[in-house]
Amino acid sequence: MVRPVHRGLVALAGTAMMIALAACGADSSTDDAGASDEPDLNAEVTITVSDLPPTEQAESRQAMLDKIADFEAAHPTITIDAQETKWAAETFNAMLAGGTLPIVTAVPFTEIQALASRGQATDLTDAVADSAAISALSPTVMESVTRDGRIYGVPYQAYTMGLVYNRGLFEEAGLDPDDPPQTWDDVRAAAKTITEQTGQPGFISMTASNTGGWVLSTMSYAFGGQMQEVSGDDVLASFAAPRTATTEALELLRAMRWEDESMGANFLLDIDDARNEFAAGRAGMFVHGADVYGDMVVNRGLPGEHYGVAPLPQSPDGIGTLGGGAIDIVSPNATPEQVAAAIKWIEYHRLGRLSDEEQAVTWAESRAADDLPVGTPELPIVDAAQYETYLGWIDSYINVPRDNYELYLSTVEDIPLVPEPPVKAQELYAALDPVVQAVLTREDADLAELLDQAERNVNDFIAAG
Amino acid sequence: MAMTARPDLPAEPGQRPRRRRRRSPVTWARSGGMASVVFLLPLLITFGFFSWLPVAKSLVLSMQRTNLVTAAEWVGLANFERVLADPLLWTAVWNTTWFTLLAVVVGFPVPVMLAVFIGELRKSRGLASALAYIPVILPPVVAVLLWKAYYNPGPDGLFNTVLGWFGLGPFPWLQDGTMAMPSIVVQATWAGFGGTTIIYLAALRSVRTDLYEAAEVDGASIWRRVWHITLPQLRGIMLIMLLLQLIGTFQVFTEPFIMTGGGPENRTTTILMLIYNYAFIAGDYGKATALSLMLAGVLSIVSAVYLFLTRTWSKT
């Protein structure tokens, strides 16, 4: 029997539960922000924006604050509230649910399709329709932010996946750092030479936290295969047929690992581990986004002159490479007025430096003053002529040896940019991680069986919706 | 002995049993009942807001499909069905069970033995306790990262270097499907034994010293004293610590997340890692909370069964 005092507690707990349930119900009934409504352009509006540089980067921080002041002067009805918030998968949903996600948030390319599919990024198609700056962006890059013909973000920085290599180790191994490998056979031979001559792994591959599948997908493109087949509305994973580009990519890894022993001993590497290994001079090459110079040199201590990047080698059937970069999205909680203000801010803040000399110079000057790299390899998001003009404006502030990336820079626009797998990309990458790990840790790994199992898992995920 | 009659005591034989008189709310309030409620309120509000509300929310969330922006869609038990259909679930269940078994077999006796050993020291008992506790002071992520470096599979890794002096290795540690989980268990045991040892040491102080003196007089060896006096006296606390360890190890996350990311080939993917992946990689909070609730349910049942089976053992 429940004693009276216990009854009271039970009643209180029950009440608390009911209040909680009622609160949940109230949350659930929140209406979708009416992004498609016509905005009142004369209304006072405040927007929060992410990625205010921290106080350690004083010049860059001040440059952004000055830019905000200029923008607000030119747009008296708009107030910008800049925050140091940065994208993180672990905090994004909590901030979104709690209403603290900045109205404008920068996210990586890898996330945009999933965010769009979940309705967690505002559909900007109508809002950007009249924007000359956004219309001028490269169609290839814009494709990355497009889903079912609708635009969900504004790319402001892009790169392609390339072959990142250590020029120091190349020299030590007797290889010419100005003549990086251009075929996969070259990659294998160079990796073997580096290991033989320096004792360091010639080639490493990320394998954990979905990066194994991410890199394997990139290599599959380079060997001529897509990861999914799209037929109307139906999408199916398609990397396990009897012999596919994915199989070829894995065979290459297997040969380097078990025949040449040129991949070292550590085969559980996520993106941080791989960058650490590379920056510490313990990796000759790896497949990564070409934009990693800043992180390698500024954060991880790689000598700047050791950073090399080459285009991702393509087999004769290669269809291109995966792209990456940064995209500004607008929070789905934004009002139509905030969406309109956000687009103006993104045009000014992110794209202004590509079309306005003063902004370009201020941006480059402040970065150089903070010892941050200026002029790192990237995929131009505007047309070639405009990009050359922009490079001319910032030329005196360029502080990275662009000659070292000559091959990458001269071919970056020739290699087609292939988008991420259209459906459940992260799940696909997660399913392929164990496949890459198996190939690198078990000599007898059965590729066909592993790929078949992974493909079934991905298709189950797709079918489950 | 004289006894004073009290109205709530059973009636004397031959008299009709008197029903306990219930106090009216007014009487209860006048006699200071409100004060207890006032003192209880902050606790109730705090628990309600930070413990019960999230639990209630997760119950709701587990039956919804939501993007946390638009109105959530009620899907009934579909999230549970999707979790049960995930082929990785049973891998994670097995891995977690394997980790728990290993952690109990390796990790449970270590602090008991260490506490008994430290308890037997005549000098430097405080220093020994402090040394045992040092691993607990290190932030978990730092400790795990350190061990990850120690487990470097190359011949220049710390452990492989030391073993190399004796002509052993190099071992792949975390890179090998068979070795990865035991390697994680060793680290987890190292990280956790200090705190448990301190608890056992405190419990040892309650062991009656006259029992030891009597045993010594009877000529009992140190091992017989430990076996026949110390361990039986500690069994109550050992029972609780084992239960806490079972619950704690079933929720293992940090170590495999940082050291292996669940690899190689998902051999160290645990249930909590699966929950993390559902929530933060796939953004599927319905599925994540469904699996969380399933785990909570299983742990509750395991705890209840454990307490039921050991109820006689815990009574000294």
Top-confidence residue, A31 or A201: A201
Strand pairing class (A78-82; A45-49): parallel
- Residue B108: inside a domain, yes or no? yes
Rounded to an integer, what distance in angstroms lies between the CA atom of residue A69 and that of residue B45?
Answer: 44
CB of A75 closer than 8 Å to CB of A341: yes
- Residue B206: inside a domain, yes or no? yes
- In A199-324, alpha helices (H): 211-222, 245-254, 271-279, 293-294
Residues in A touching B64 (Cβ below 8 Å):
28
pLDDT at B25: 82
pLDDT at B222: 82
Top-confidence residue, A261 or A1: A261
Residues in A touching B87 (Cβ below 8 Å):
457, 460
CA distance A422 to chain B (A): 14
Residues in B touching A268 (Cβ below 8 Å):
174-175, 259-261, 263-264
CB of B144 closer than 8 Å to CB of B257: no
Find all residues with CB under 8 Å of B2, minimum gap 6, and list them.
none
Among residues A430, A164, A187, A415, the alpha carbon closest in space to that of A287 is found at: A164
Burial bucket for residue B202 (CB in 10 Å: 0-12, 13-18, 19+): exposed
- Give the tokens for residue A325: 């970069």
Q: Residue A202: what residue type?
A: G
Residues in A touching B164 (Cβ below 8 Å):
none
CA angle A321, A279, A223 (to 5 degrees): 20
Q: Name A330's bridge partners.
A: A104
pLDDT of A417 strictly over 60? yes
Taking each helix axis as running N to C, give the angle between helix A447-464 and helix A425-441, from 0 to 180 degrees, rounded to the nearest 10.
160
Q: Which residue of chain B comes nearest to A4, CA vs CA? A: B22
CB of A287 closer than 8 Å to CB of A217: no
Nearest to B68 among A96, A267, A424 (CB): A96
Residues in A touching B266 (Cβ below 8 Å):
434
The B residues from 215 to 274 touching A (CB cutoff 8 Å) are 259-266
Top-confidence residue, A400 or A16: A400
Which structural domain range is residue B260 located in? 101-268
Q: Does residue A158 sit in helix, strand or coil?
A: strand
CA angle B195, B198, B203 (to 5 degrees): 130
pLDDT at A26: 37
* Interchain contact, A433 vs B263, CB within 8 Å: yes
Single pTM value for the model? 0.82
Q: Does residue B8 sit in helix, strand or coil?
A: coil
> Averaged over A254-265, what is the pLDDT?
96
pLDDT at A20: 40
> Averaged over A134-140, what is the pLDDT?
90
**Hunting for tokens 């997660």 — which residue is that?**
A430
Strand pairing class (A321-330; A417-418): parallel
- Residue B32: inside a domain, yes or no? no
- Residue B25: inside a domain, yes or no? no
- Residue B57: inside a domain, yes or no? no
The B residues from 2 to 21 touching A (CB cutoff 8 Å) are none
Rounded to an integer, what distance in angstroms lies between the CA atom of residue A227 and that of residue A424?
Answer: 11
Rounded to an integer, what distance in angstroms lies between the CA atom of residue A423 and that of residue A404?
Answer: 37
In degrees to the nearest 10, what's the CA dihedral of A246, A251, A256, A257? 90
* Interchain contact, A438 vs B265, CB within 8 Å: yes
CB of A164 closer than 8 Å to CB of A278: yes
pLDDT at A465: 66
CB of A105 closer than 8 Å to CB of A156: no
Residue from A268, A442, A461 to probe the interface with B (highest B Cβ count within 10 Å): A268
pLDDT of A461 strictly over 90? no
- Residue B144: inside a domain, yes or no? yes
The A residues from 94 to 133 touching B (CB cutoff 8 Å) are 96-97, 114-115, 118-120
B82 touches chain A (CB under 8 A): yes
3-state secondary structure A18-36: HHHHHHHHHHHCCCCCCCC
Q: Which residue of chain A comes nearest to B67, CA vs CA? A: A118
Confidence label for A389 from pLDDT (cuts 50, 70 and 90): very high
**Hunting for tokens 């990693």 — which residue is that?**
A292
pLDDT at B313: 66
pLDDT at A302: 96
Please tell me the total count of domains within chain B.
Answer: 1
> Averaged over A190-206, what is the pLDDT?
97
* Interchain contact, B280 vs A430, CB within 8 Å: no
Residues in B touching A426 (Cβ below 8 Å):
281-282
CATH assignment of the domain containing B188: 1.10.3720.10
> Averaged over A47-76, what is the pLDDT?
92
- In chain B, alpha helices (H): 25-28, 34-47, 53-61, 78-85, 87-107, 109-120, 125-137, 140-150, 158-164, 180-204, 209-217, 222-225, 231-250, 254-259, 271-276, 285-309
* Interchain contact, B262 vs A426, CB within 8 Å: no
Nearest to B44 among A12, A97, A270 (CB): A12
pLDDT of A34 strictly over 50? no
Taking each helix axis as running N to C, give the angle between helix B285-309 and helix B78-85, from 0 to 180 degrees, rounded to the nearest 10.
80
pLDDT at A11: 39
Q: What percent of chain A has pLDDT over 90?
A: 67
DSSP 8-state symbol, A339: H
First to last CA, chain B: 31
* Interchain contact, B69 vs A457, CB within 8 Å: no
Rounded to an integer, what distance in angstroms lies between the CA atom of residue B59 and that of residue B66?
Answer: 13
CB of A215 closer than 8 Å to CB of A431: no
pLDDT at A28: 38
What structural domains and CATH numbers belong to chain A?
Answer: 45-158+325-402 (3.40.190.10), 160-323+413-464 (3.40.190.10)
- Extract the residue ranges of chain B whose pLDDT is less than 70: 1-21, 313-316
CA angle B165, B170, B175 (to 5 degrees): 150
Nearest to A13 among B52, B170, B279 (CB): B52
Q: Does residue A154 sit in helix, strand or coil?
A: strand
**Side-chain half-sphere of A389: how many Cα atoms within 13 Å?**
11
Write phi, then psi, for A45 (nearest 5 degrees): -145, 145
A430 touches chain B (CB under 8 A): yes
pLDDT of A412 strictly over 60? yes
The A residues from 223 to 282 touching B (CB cutoff 8 Å) are 264-268, 270
The tens digit of pLDDT for each residue in A229-247 reads: 888 778 888 888 777 899 9
pLDDT at A195: 97
Q: Name A285's bridge partners.
A: A165, A203
- Residue B188: inside a domain, yes or no? yes
- Give the tokens for residue B55: 């639990």
Rounded to an integer, what distance in angstroms lies between the CA atom of residue A273 and that of residue B151?
Answer: 14
pLDDT at A348: 94
pLDDT of A337 strictly over 50? yes
- Residue B316: inside a domain, yes or no? no
